[in-house]
């Protein structure tokens, strides 16, 4: 019966919505069965009719947040054409999203892998997400001789590590203390990496 599945998806959605709201507002630590169920308008035990356990629910949220980050970044880059400059804008938006919702940074990068059970696919999705986000731009850069194809992996990995490191210290350790300082620091650092691994237009033979 299809009607049954529609209903099931609907109720699942209520729980996911509630958990997402808590994650965004109060962070992972506040996502408890009681808390989520209260907000969804159900008893906490009902949650177990729709999710294996609380981690299962949290990872359903993660999946949806991936789309949300993508949309957020897309929204910040409307009208821009592919290339190094757009990578910088995308990265800024990417960092800003996690600063706005530290709970989601926590969920994406800090949550213990042990607690993810069989959600390895979601973990992989998160890991490769930044690369996919900038894939068009990297392709453009390679096609136009702005980045050497054999250096692509190194530079994109480098940016991934730096971004995670920056966010980790800013969100989790308050270094630097001010947002303005963080963002200018981050941008300078990203610019430096991109400069290092790109061939400027003047030098570009084509």
The footprint of a copy of itself (CB under 8 A) covers: 29, 106, 109-110, 112-113, 123, 126-127, 154, 157-158, 160-166, 168-169, 172-175, 185, 189, 192, 196
Question: Binds 55, which of a copy of itself, DNA, none (CB < 5 to 8 A, cut-off by type)?
Answer: DNA
Whole-number minimum distance, CB 83 to a copy of itself, in Å? Answer: 23
Our finding on whether 11 is near DNA (CB under 7 A) is yes
Which residues pair with residue 147 across a beta bridge? 198
Question: What radius of gyration, in Å, describes the C-alpha atoms of the chain?
Answer: 20
Cβ neighbours around 123 below 10 Å, total = 15
Spatial separation of the C-alpha atoms in residues 105 and 171, rounded to whole Å: 8
Instruction: Find, among 25, 160, 178, 20, the residue nearest to 100 by Cα.
Output: 25
CB atoms within 10 A of CB 99: 16
Nearer to DNA, 34 or 175 (CB): 34
Residue 199 beta carbon to a copy of itself: minimum distance, rounded to whole angstroms: 16
Tell me the C-alpha distance between 110 and 105, whole Å. 7
Q: In whole angstroms, give the CA distance from residue 123 to residue 56.
A: 13
Site membership for DNA, residue 32 (CB under 7 A): yes
Q: How far is the CB of 34 from DNA (least distance, A)?
A: 5
Of 58 and 126, the one with the shorter C-beta distance to a copy of itself is: 126
Which residue in the set 13, 24, 44, 136 belongs to the binding site for DNA (CB under 7 A)?
44
State in angstroms the smallest separation of the CB of 21 from DNA: 15
Burial (CB < 10 A; 0-12, 13-18, 19+), residue 190, is buried
The verdict on 45 binding DNA (CB under 7 A) reads: yes
Q: Footprint of DNA on this chain (CB under 7 A)? A: 1, 3-4, 7-8, 11, 30-35, 42-46, 48-50, 53-55
């Amino acid at each position: 019966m299809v009607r049954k599945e529609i209903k099931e998806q609907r109720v699942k959605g209520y729980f996911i919505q509630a958990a997402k709201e808590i994650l965004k507002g109060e962070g992972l630590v506040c996502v408890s069965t009681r808390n989520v169920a209260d907000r969804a308008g159900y008893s906490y035990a009902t949650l177990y009719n729709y999710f294996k356990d609380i981690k299962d629910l949290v990872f359903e949220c993660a999946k949806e947040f991936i789309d949300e980050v993508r949309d957020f970044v897309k929204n910040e880059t409307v009208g821009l054409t592919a290339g190094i400059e757009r990578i910088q804008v995308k990265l800024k938006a990417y960092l800003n999203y996690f600063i706005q919702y530290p709970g989601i940074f926590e969920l994406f990068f800090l949550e213990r892998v042990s607690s993810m059970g069989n959600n390895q696919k979601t973990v992989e999705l998160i890991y490769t997400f930044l690369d996919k986000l900038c894939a068009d731009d990297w392709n453009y850069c390679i096609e136009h001789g702005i980045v050497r194809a054999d250096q692509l992996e190194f530079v994109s990995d480098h940016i991934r590590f730096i971004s995670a490191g920056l966010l980790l210290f800013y969100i989790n350790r308050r270094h630097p203390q001010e947002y303005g300082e963080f963002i200018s620091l981050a941008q300078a650092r990203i610019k430096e990496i991109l400069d290092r691994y790109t061939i400027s237009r003047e030098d570009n033979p084509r």
